[in-house]
Structure 1
Amino acid sequence: MASAVSLPPAPRQGAKRVSNHELSTNLRIASARLTRRLRAEKPDGDLSDGQYSVLAFVCREGAKTLGELSRYERVTPPSMNRTVNQLEAAGYVVREASADDRRKVLFVPTDAGRGLVKETRRRRDAWLDRRLAKLPPETRALLADAADVIRELADS
């Protein structure tokens, strides 16, 4: 028995035909605008996007060293040091010595840091939920499929 071949879905009625270049430009602009809009939904207006990204990372992945954080954010260690110093001064992370190697310093989220990340995610989800609820079911289904494709692109 031959294996089934997965065919792309038929184009929607009225779907525009665009070149790869037009699609990449439109997708880049749309995703950047959506990201900027979602980033505005946060309870601490003084926290930069880079600081929030580091805080969310340690909340999600656990305690990290300065080097690990620098690699994750693709910045230099001195730049990351400034970021974690600001997070520490705001009470969102603390420094702890590693149990494995007392010379290593780990950055650990505080309860306030975890609370901020949780509230920021709640606000961002709520903002997007309200907008998605106004869309017709066919458009939401289209976005669900697009989200899978966008995730694949991001992970490639």
Structure 2
Amino acid sequence: MAIPPPESTSRRSHEPETWALRVLGAAEAEASGALARRMRMHPTELSAMSHVAASDGHLGPRELSTRLGITPAAMTDVVDRLEAAGHLLRERDTSDRRRVRLVPTESASTQVRGQLRGLLDRLDAITADFTPAERDAIHRYLQAAAEAYHRFAEDD
């Protein structure tokens, strides 16, 4: 899918890179749906696993329910299904035994990496078309964009 050129309307008044990032987000959502189907998961379960994997073991069920916008009771059902399927473990936090943290299983991580290998290889190959300076600029832009998204989510 080509990225539409910016138009002069107020709807398209932002920078072309901003719109490219929005198109990338839509493509990523489409790929996530495909991954969920391939893994035989509900999209909410895959989204939960994505958040857990990105958290490096610092995410509990309550924080996850807030991120996904679902009730704690619904989150418990999601975590129960993921645990029963062998995708997720509940572990006691070593610094606060009252706290439960969620951790993906090694088999789930291996399965996801296997499913994503082709996509990640294609994305890695794209970088060959850029100079080290261009790659550095792209990296800085994506880091700053991710931070902007995080700030947007925290400003709720």
Q: Same fold (TM over 0.5)?
A: yes
Corresponding residue number in structure 1 for 2:31: 38
Q: Deviations over 1:25-48 (max 9, x none)?
A: x76973454123322246843122
| TM norm structure 2 | 0.60
Q: Is the 8 A contact 2:36 2:43 kept in 1?
A: no
- Residue ranges of structure 1 left out of the alignment (5+ in a row): 1-14
Distance in 2 separating the partners of 1:152 and 1:101:
31
Distance in 2 separating the partners of 1:43 and 1:115:
17
| 1:53 is aligned to 2:53 | no
Distance in 2 separating the partners of 1:109 and 1:82:
16
- Residue ranges of structure 2 left out of the alignment (5+ in a row): 152-156
Change (3 A) 1:27 1:129: same
1:113-152 alignment, distance < 5 Å: 113-128=108-123, 132=126, 144=138, 147=142, 150-151=145-146
Q: CA deviation at 1:151?
A: 4.1
Amino acid at match of 1:57: H
Corresponding residue number in structure 2 for 1:66: 61
Aligned residues: 137
Distance in 2 separating the partners of 1:146 and 1:105:
34
Bigger radius of gyration: 1
Change (3 A) 1:17 1:65: closer
Identity of aligned residues (%): 22
Distance in 2 separating the partners of 1:86 and 1:153:
32
Amino acid at match of 2:41: L
Q: Is the 8 A contact 2:65 2:75 kept in 1?
A: yes
Q: CA deviation at 1:91?
A: 0.2
Q: CA deviation at 1:51?
A: 1.4
Q: CA deviation at 1:115?
A: 1.6
Q: Is the 8 A contact 1:66 1:107 kept in 2?
A: yes
Distance in 2 separating the partners of 1:126 and 1:20:
37
Corresponding residue number in structure 1 for 2:11: 21
Amino acid at match of 1:80: M
| 1:110 is aligned to 2:105 | yes
Q: CA deviation at 1:83?
A: 1.2
Amino acid at match of 2:69: R
- Of Structure 1 and Structure 2, the greater helix share is in 2
| TM norm structure 1 | 0.60
Q: Is the 8 A contact 1:38 1:124 kept in 2?
A: no
Corresponding residue number in structure 1 for 2:80: 85
Could you say which structure has the greater relative contact order, defined with CA pairs below 8 angstroms and 6 or more residues apart? 1
